[in-house]
Amino acid sequence: MPDLTINSGALSATFRPDLGGRLTRLSHRDYGDVIVPLTDVDFDPLDWPKAGAFPLFPFHGRLADARFKQGDGCHQLQPNPYRGTDAMHGPAHRRPWDVLTSTPDEMVLTLHYKADPEWPFEFMAMQRFRICGSRLDLELELTNQAGTSVPAGLGWHPYFVSTLDTPVQCNAVIRRQLPVTSQPTDGWERRSLPTAPLLNRPFTEHFSEWSHTTISTDAGRLEVSRHSGLPFVVVHRTTGYICVEPVSHIAGAFALPETLRVNAGLTALKPGATIRGHISLSIS
């Protein structure tokens, strides 16, 4: 499939629906590449390049031992061989998506997911991208099409161009300290977040109660803003890029007892019900 591109004003975005509904490039006329361009399109879907941006449906992060409990049963998923016995970041970015709408400034991608060994429930997912000037809006939706209530979440995983010296700030109220097992418990440490820039070394932080994260460079300032849904954000910095991942639930929430999942952002989605999220990226 050829690249599909939308643009308006100073921004241009390129997509490969067949590669998991990925945004492969986002560039600004004056700022340059905003997201690390995905140039290697011949990759193992289970071991993806650290580039572009991909959707997170119906969960993000590691799912320990690739299994979770629901009601009286336990669902065993297919592990990711590159993550030991765990599943990782859901299967939606390893499936081809359909193009519902393609106009000069808007792209709408959909995925009708059928139950398989990677996820045992049917769902419909949607990504809507719209460019206006120096701003990219992204809306995400997930609709439960299974015949039963299921835990489900959504999010987005971009790789922004950044160095270890690039100033990054997040206005989140709470920093959540993951236990060593990376499986959250009801006793998560909650700490108020200082206003100073985040560390200029590799790290992974889990935040909640946020509305924007800012990445400042010599070329300009990139702001990731949350408008609705997606109350949690994972910020992962390493050499060459930084990930700012808006998500609907805490990483590892599937490992929690069902009675504790609600506080972690993970609720049982009823048949036909939909969850949504809306963020934007703006350059100034």
The count of domains in the chain is 1
pLDDT reading at 177 higher than 90? no
Write out pLDDT tens, residues 40-53.
999 999 999 999 99
pLDDT reading at 268 higher than 50? yes
Confidence (pLDDT) at 190: 57
Confidence (pLDDT) at 189: 53
Write out pLDDT tens, residues 99-121.
999 999 999 999 999 999 999 99
What does the block give as tokens for 75? 């669902």
User: In this structure, are residues 236 and 196 in contact, taking their beta carbons and an 8 Å threshold?
Assistant: no
Confidence (pLDDT) at 180: 36
User: In this structure, are residues 114 and 122 in contact, taking their beta carbons and an 8 Å threshold?
Assistant: yes
pLDDT reading at 187 higher than 50? no
**Which has more pLDDT, 24 or 203?**
24
User: In this structure, are residues 154 and 275 in contact, taking their beta carbons and an 8 Å threshold?
Assistant: yes
Q: Which residues pair with 282 in a beta bridge?
A: 135, 223
Task: For residues 101 and 48, give the distance between their C-alpha atoms in angstroms, rounded to a whole number.
Answer: 26
**What is the mean predicted confidence (pLDDT) over 123-137?**
97
State which residues form the domain around 145. 4-283
**What is the mean predicted confidence (pLDDT) over 27-47?**
94
Q: Which residues pair with 70 in a beta bridge?
A: 73
User: In this structure, are residues 74 and 67 in contact, taking their beta carbons and an 8 Å threshold?
Assistant: yes
pLDDT reading at 204 higher than 60? yes
Task: For residues 121 and 142, give the distance between their C-alpha atoms in angstroms, rounded to a whole number.
Answer: 12
Confidence (pLDDT) at 197: 66
Confidence (pLDDT) at 161: 94
- Please indicate, yes or no, whether the overall pTM of this predicted structure exceeds 0.85: yes
Confidence of residue 186 (pLDDT cuts 50, 70, 90): very low
Confidence (pLDDT) at 85: 94
Q: DSSP per residue over the chain, as a string?
A: ---EEEEETTEEEEEETTTTSEEEEEEETTTEESB---------TTS--S-SEEEE-S--SEEGGGEEEETTEEEEPPPPGGGTT-EES-SGGGSPPEEEEEETTEEEEEEEEPPBTTBSS-EEEEEEEEEETTEEEEEEEEEE-SSS-EE---EEEE-EE--TTS-EEE--SEEEE--TTS---TT-EEEEPPSSPPPSS-EEEEEES-SEEEEEETTEEEEEEEEES--EEEEEEETTEEEEEEESS-TTGGGS-HHHHGGGT--EEPTT-EEEEEEEEEE-
Q: Which of 20-34, 101-115, 246-260 is predicted least confidently? A: 246-260
Confidence (pLDDT) at 194: 55
**What is the mean predicted confidence (pLDDT) over 116-127?**
97
**Mean pLDDT score across all residues of the chain:** 90
CA 256 to chain centre: 20
Task: For residues 163 and 237, give the distance between their C-alpha atoms in angstroms, rounded to a whole number.
Answer: 9
The residues, ordered by sequence, that sit 6+ positions from 196 with a Cβ below 8 Å of its Cβ are none
Confidence (pLDDT) at 73: 85
Q: What is the CATH number of the domain that holds 201?
A: 2.70.98.10
